[in-house]
Amino acid sequence: MIIECNHCESKVDGIEKGEVYDNDPDYPFPCKRVLVQCPVCKSALLGITEKIQVGHDDWEWDNLHRLWPPQDASIDREIPEIAGVSLVEARLCFKAKAYSACAVMCGRTIEGLCMHHKTKNKTLAGGLKELKEAEIIDTRLFEWGEALRKHRNIGAHASSEKISKEDAKDLLDFSSAICEYVFVLNAKFNRFIERSTKK
Ligand SMILES: [Zn+2]
């Protein structure tokens, strides 16, 4: 069954090792979870699939959507759409080996983060400074943000300078970490404080 292998960074025809059918009476389509092995790198992958109609009376299992290790495209629901869509695209660009485009999308993720916090300055540099002054990000995150911004400029403008795979990966990790810190951890921390004050 076709599944995306995270190690091989490509779609592979997984060798089936076992399956468990879902029997949720409220869900109209047959659905199952399948454990497969990547034929190339031999790693274990768990996917979910449902039957889709391919002809008048013809149903087939769809390609597997990877549940474990989690597919990169799924991002935490605490991350607002304005930043999340660019982050997802940055990941897709990286996968497609479009490293300059990935850098641009990473920059856009941070722009989304600034817009979410309604920074007044229209430039990314000014926005990041505002976020730091408002203590939404700390000094280290600010420095990461600055690095992202500079690379975004290399990626966005025609020049002989290229974004390497390693740089693109770092930028992607930085953007993910900044979003994680600002949205996911902050929300968690606020809920924690709320619970403590209730006690
Ligand atoms: Zn593999």
Q: Quick one: which H or E segment has residue 30? A: none
| 199 pLDDT above the threshold of 80 | no
User: Could you tell me whether strands 31-37 and 44-53 are parallel, antiparallel, or unpaired per DSSP bridges?
Assistant: antiparallel
pLDDT digits (tens, 9 = 90+) for 19-38: 999 877 777 778 999 999 99
pLDDT digits (tens, 9 = 90+) for 79-104: 888 999 999 999 889 988 899 999 89
Q: What is the band of 61 on the pLDDT scale with cuts at 50, 70, 90? A: very high
pLDDT (0 to 100) of residue 47: 93
83 CA to middle of ligand 1, Å? 30
Q: Are 87 and 176 in contact (CB under 8 A)?
A: yes
| 191 pLDDT above the threshold of 90 | no
User: In this structure, is the dihedral angle defined by the CA atoms of residues 107, 111, 113 and 119, taken in order, positive or negative?
Assistant: positive
**Domain positions in the chain:** 2-68, 81-198
44 CA to middle of ligand 1, Å? 8
CA–CA gap between residue 43 and residue 52 (Å, rounded): 27
| 169 pLDDT above the threshold of 70 | yes
CA–CA gap between residue 27 and residue 22 (Å, rounded): 9
Q: Quick one: which H or E segment has residue 36? A: strand 31-37
197 against 154, higher pLDDT: 197
Q: What is the band of 46 on the pLDDT scale with cuts at 50, 70, 90? A: very high
Is the CATH number of domain 81-198 1.20.120.330?
A: yes
64 CA to middle of ligand 1, Å? 14
42 CA to middle of ligand 1, Å? 6
134 CA to middle of ligand 1, Å? 44
For 39-194, strand residue ranges (E) read: 44-53, 59-61, 65-68
165 CA to middle of ligand 1, Å? 19
Q: Are 118 and 183 in contact (CB under 8 A)?
A: no
Q: Any idea which residue has 């597919």 for tokens?
A: 71
| 153 pLDDT above the threshold of 80 | no
For 73-178, strand residue ranges (E) read: none
195 CA to middle of ligand 1, Å? 43
pLDDT (0 to 100) of residue 72: 61
Which two three-digit tokens encode residue 148? 């992202």
Lowest mean pLDDT, pick from 53-57, 81-85, 154-158: 154-158
Q: Quick one: which H or E segment has residue 145? A: helix 139-156
**Mean pLDDT taken over the chain:** 87
Q: 69: cis peptide before it, omega within 30°? A: yes
38 CA to middle of ligand 1, Å? 5
77 CA to middle of ligand 1, Å? 28
pLDDT (0 to 100) of residue 73: 58
Q: Are 56 and 62 in contact (CB under 8 A)?
A: no
pLDDT digits (tens, 9 = 90+) for 99-142: 999 989 998 998 999 999 999 987 888 888 999 999 888 898 88
4 CA to middle of ligand 1, Å? 8
What is the Cα 124 distance to its own chain's centre? Answer: 21
CA–CA gap between residue 30 and residue 53 (Å, rounded): 11
